[in-house]
Structure 1
Amino acid sequence: MTTTGRLVSWGPLTVRLMLAQISVLLAGLAIVLLTAVLAGPTMFYDELIDAGHVEEATGLGLEHLEDALRPVSLIALGVGAVPALCIAGLLSFYLYRTIGRSLASFTAAARQVAAGHYDVRIPSAGLGPEFDSLAASFNDMAAKLNAVDATRRQMLADLAHEMRTPLANLKGHLEGIEDGVVPLDERTTGILHAQITRLERLARDIRALTRAEEGLLRLQPTTVDMAHLAQQAVAAVEPLAAQKNITVAAAGVTAAPAVLDGERMGQVLGNLIENALRHTPPRGRVTVHTDLDPVSVTVTVTDTGDGIAAEALPHVFQRFYRAEAGRESDHGGSGLGLAISKALVEAQGGTLEATSPGRGQGAAFRVRLPRHTATS
């Protein structure tokens, strides 16, 4: 039940808690009362004898003591117990009403999160570290759900934007073929095939990025020589680099062993080198340099290409980010290669950063990985 959009703070749980507390108080009072009435005179009588007042105790007699002490004890207990019971009841009421309000705020916040309002936050109730920890955990969960939802919305918007161009090209050529305006020749089929390939690559990259960012990848860490891996990645792109008249070479140490997933790191290096080739003009150079220290291995892919403006550097690893409109489309990229590479590196406990002196002055992408650990 709600009142003006808020849950009623006085719920069944708090009623049960307060009744249980009052029951404990009443039980304690009853035990004290019975003890004072039944055992009090006898204890007082024994105490007189132990203190050396045998004559006074014998003269008074136990029955006389019982008759004298019983009403006095009842009056004293009544005078003290009634206010104590009232104070305890008021304190219990206040405490459990506060707990009820806190639980009501949790319930209301949970319902808002269930309705898709992930910006809701629960303030500290001031009821101790347990409630504060619960509130902090809930707020952390809501913040992560909010981030996931924002990412999902941005992903859908970006995906729709990326798919628009190849779909429009496919539709335009198919309509042209149907109307007889565009001939169905080798050139047209090549264009159609290229657009379909672009959509396939986009779907594949989206899936890879999602799995990496959500921690769904199953890594298989083994001892891998990163220097050898870099040489393999360079060898794989040498034919493409030769076609573009770009020099590509591996440099640095000749052996750099590290515990990591060799297949995933090969994918990362391939993405970084291909990205460098896309943005390096003819007669340019791409270098893959491997360094080693006692705790980490570093691979840096440096090019002499387009470079990256200072304001664009913080965004280069975002999905579909382009420093210049249409840049990746013109170069044949899906706009996801760098984002995938960063997610794969971070999944293995490493870092990936980009640096550039500025536009037209080349760029460097540095992968740093721990040598002896890998996450799974």
Structure 2
Amino acid sequence: MSATASTQTWSWSPLTVRLMLAQAAVLLVGLIIVVITAVLVGPSMFYHELIQAGHADEATGLVHLEDAFRSVSLTALAIGGLPALYIAGVLSFYLHRTIGKSLASFTTAAGQVASGNYDVRVTSTKLGPEFDSLAGSFNEMAAKLSAVDTTRRQLLADLAHEMRTPLASLKGHLEGIEDGVVELDEHTTGILYAQIARLERLARDIRQLTAAEEGMTHLQLTPQDPQRLATQAVAAIEPDAAGKGVSITSISTGMDITPVLLDRERMGQVLGNLLENALRHTPPGGSITVHTDHAPEAVTFTVTDTGEGISAENLPHVFERFYRANTGREAHRGGSGLGLAISKALVEAQGGSLEATSDGLGQGARFRIRLPRHRPTT
């Protein structure tokens, strides 16, 4: 539940005092200039203007009226200037107090964010679009920090869970070897190396996922033949598919093949991840198809299998870190649980999208990559 930053009790802050003194100084200087102009300079200028216009006699007769003119002018300025000065001071005080409250609210909220409370939000100050934009930007920043913190906590919890099994296996076998219960033979050595390889793969996948999601992956975007990438990915996994008794084919449809701007290595990694995932969940006798469709606006790769399928409740979560459905996606089936998350991050880093669909359990699954041909420049 989000909280709103409470405003502190207003007091005379140094900033408010400085603003008030500066405003009062400006008003006083303006009033002094008006007095000097109207009382001292004005009569003299009028007197000289009469002389230059050829009315020296009239000008001489008006000299004795200057004192009266100055007295009346000072009285008029006092009557009109002092209330104006008071009203301006009151308005300045209100404005500075409102700004001070707004700054105090932002200060309090920033302090709470710095202390780890990312649910804090600031309300609109009603001081104009600039302050509203600042409040919106602050709230957006706090929301993103909250999402990052939630993801970090979940990642650490999932990582601890994923490391528990291989570490427990290593510890159990090593204790068995020390106690003489387990022999250090080829079979035991293979188990130990398998668990170490699993931990290494987990560390590598986490590093790749973090780099991709944070935009730290160095992409080398060059024009590539999409169909050639699909063919190479299929060729790489064909021996494993044949060993399992699963057929795999690649087809291409649409317009004439034209190059697409993408990272060849990263896209090959994505296609490889999707094909390995499809093979892992397709039983012997099943089939996998890689369909490349060339359209004027985009190129799509669709990896379709006839395997276990994905239930409707699990489908929205397949790209989450370490996510495995209860049916057929357990840790012993291989993989770190990060392959699909890495694939989605790498595709999005290249301006594309990756989505999964399935008609349900036992109905197979489809993973569709869409890469637009024309991407907005940043």
Shorter-chain TM-score range? over 0.9
The answer on whether the counterparts of 1:206 and 1:336 sit within 8 Å (CA) in structure 2 is yes
The answer on whether the counterparts of 2:50 and 2:59 sit within 8 Å (CA) in structure 1 is no
The answer on whether the counterparts of 2:10 and 2:97 sit within 8 Å (CA) in structure 1 is no
How many angstroms does 1:373 deviate by?
4.0
User: For 1:69-111, what per-residue CA distance to the aligned partner results, in whole angstroms no more than 9, with x for missing partners?
Assistant: 1111111100111111111111111101111111111111111
Q: Counterparts in 2 of 1:2-151, with a 5 A limit?
A: 6=8, 9-42=11-44, 58=58, 61-151=61-151
Distance 1:9 1:303, change over 3 A: farther
Q: Counterparts in 2 of 1:254-265, with a 5 A limit?
A: 255-265=257-267
Mapped partners of 1:348, 1:341: distance in 2 = 11
Q: Secondary structure at the match of 1:171?
A: helix
Q: Counterparts in 2 of 1:208-357, with a 5 A limit?
A: 208-253=208-253, 255-324=257-326, 327-357=329-359
Q: Secondary structure at the match of 1:126?
A: coil
Mapped partners of 2:170, 2:375: distance in 1 = 47
Q: Does 1:171 align with 2:171?
A: yes
The answer on whether the counterparts of 1:221 and 1:374 sit within 8 Å (CA) in structure 2 is no
Structure 2 gaps of 5+ residues are 1-5
Letter of the aligned partner of 1:222 in structure 2? Answer: T
After TM superposition, the structure 1 stretch with the greater mean CA deviation from structure 2, 133-142 or 297-306, is: 133-142
Q: Among all aligned residue pairs of Structure 1 and Structure 2, give the percentage whose two residues are the same amino acid.
A: 71
Mapped partners of 1:286, 1:309: distance in 2 = 19
TM-score (norm 1): 0.93
Matched residue, 1:162: 162
The answer on whether the counterparts of 1:348 and 1:375 sit within 8 Å (CA) in structure 2 is no
Q: Secondary structure at the match of 1:327?
A: coil
Mapped partners of 1:50, 1:123: distance in 2 = 65
Mapped partners of 1:187, 1:323: distance in 2 = 30
Matched residue, 1:362: 364
Matched residue, 2:3: none
TM-score (norm 2): 0.92
Mapped partners of 2:69, 2:377: distance in 1 = 76
User: For 1:19-62, what per-residue CA distance to the aligned partner results, in whole angstroms no more than 9, with x for missing partners?
Assistant: 1111100000000011111123245557889999x69x818723
Distance 1:256 1:329, change over 3 A: farther
The answer on whether the counterparts of 2:7 and 2:105 sit within 8 Å (CA) in structure 1 is no
The answer on whether the counterparts of 1:317 and 1:342 sit within 8 Å (CA) in structure 2 is yes
Q: Secondary structure at the match of 1:61?
A: helix
- RMSD, aligned α-carbons: 2.3
How many angstroms does 1:141 deviate by?
1.3
How many angstroms does 1:113 deviate by?
1.1
After TM superposition, the structure 1 stretch with the greater mean CA deviation from structure 2, 57-66 or 194-203, is: 57-66
Aligned residues: 371
After TM superposition, the structure 1 stretch with the greater mean CA deviation from structure 2, 278-287 or 123-132, is: 123-132
User: For 1:306-358, what per-residue CA distance to the aligned partner results, in whole angstroms no more than 9, with x for missing partners?
Assistant: 10111111111010111217723121011100000000000011000000000
Distance 1:263 1:7, change over 3 A: farther
The answer on whether the counterparts of 1:301 and 1:364 sit within 8 Å (CA) in structure 2 is yes
How many angstroms does 1:184 deviate by?
1.3
Structure 1 gaps of 5+ residues are none
After TM superposition, the structure 1 stretch with the greater mean CA deviation from structure 2, 291-300 or 366-375, is: 366-375
How many angstroms does 1:374 deviate by?
8.5
Mapped partners of 1:59, 1:241: distance in 2 = 115
Mapped partners of 1:328, 1:205: distance in 2 = 17
